Amino acid sequence: MSFSSKVKEELLRQSLGKSCCSLSELSALTQTSGSLALRGAGRVQVTYRVESAALARRIFLLLRTRLDIVAKLHYVQNARLGGRRSCVLTLGDQDSQRLLLALHMMEQGEDGGVTLRRTAPRHPMTRQCCRRAFLRGAFLGAGSMTSPEKGYHFEWVADDEGLMKTIMRLLEKSDLPARAFERKGRQVVYLKGAQQIADALALMGASASVLDMENIRITKQMRADANRASNCDEHNSEKMLNAAEKQIDAIKLISIQRGLFTLPPGLQEIARLRLEHTSLSLTELGQLMTPPVGKSGVNHRMRRLMEVARDIENTLDAHTEEESP
């Protein structure tokens, strides 16, 4: 199961909440998962089509609990999607009219007649709890998120610009500035960044998913730190081995051309220790000296050995040039 599906599963287990919140969530689900059919003579029919049986059950409960509407449920097999089954909830003419009036998508005149509004369904959301419920319903109907193990992207897909603006306005009121773009003719509202997404999940009530996401984020950070440390260790080890090889070559040159006995006692000691312990660091070599010497002291002796070796090389080069015809 994807992380996005786990989030929706947790949201579907949330209680329906107060009547105002139930209507807000139902408004979002109607805009994202509902469709409206005109049947002539002023009659309309609202239908919800979703792939999740759990989401269909939640819509059914919201309709029944908030508006005393009992929707008819049937299943449709979609051959184009590999035989995937969709859940379809259908409302009768009178129930559809009651729903549309409650969502302010339909207006009732003084003469008792009703007219459809040209705008998408709207429901006042003056309370924070209602705004949370709307965002939860919008995510259940048309939201998704990337697994935190792969990246941080959280989005709602809106079929019209009005819904896109509503989602963005509600997010901004919750201090979650969102961005939007168009994808295949549909509006997409999205959040980027781990903290913003965690705040959005908490806002909708997915507290367990927030903890799961934080655990994944911590694990990713620990892996990244371990990789950086490992790469740094490998780089340092390679540098140390290369330096040790140059030091050994220099000491051998001194030994062959002049003999180590010609060096001061301190340089003789560190030169012999380097030849005997080719893989030790400067700090470790210093601990073997009598008395022990720190890393800076060993490094100073090594620089003096390298200078002696360069003097020998320069002398040899000069003799070679003089002997050349």
In order along its 325 residues, the chain shows pLDDT tens digits of 899 999 999 999 998 888 888 999 999 999 999 888 887 766 788 999 998 899 999 999 999 988 999 999 888 877 665 667 889 999 988 898 888 888 887 776 655 555 665 455 455 677 888 889 999 999 999 999 999 888 889 999 988 888 899 999 999 988 998 999 999 889 999 998 888 999 999 999 999 999 998 888 888 777 777 777 766 666 677 777 788 888 888 888 888 888 888 899 889 899 888 888 888 888 888 999 888 989 899 999 999 999 999 988 888 877 766 665 5
Residue range 3-205 forms a domain whose CATH class is: alpha beta
Indicate the pTM of the whole model: 0.67
Distance between CA atoms of 138 and 140, rounded to whole angstroms? 5
CB 186 within 8 Å of CB 159: yes
Contacts of 230 (CB under 8 A, 6+ apart): none
CB 48 within 8 Å of CB 96: no
Per domain, the residue ranges of the chain are 3-205, 239-320
The torsion angles phi and psi of 160, rounded to 5 degrees, stand at -140, 160
Distance between CA atoms of 271 and 248, rounded to whole angstroms? 8
Contacts of 131 (CB under 8 A, 6+ apart): 24, 125, 170, 173, 174
Radius of gyration for the alpha carbons in the chain, expressed in angstroms and rounded: 37
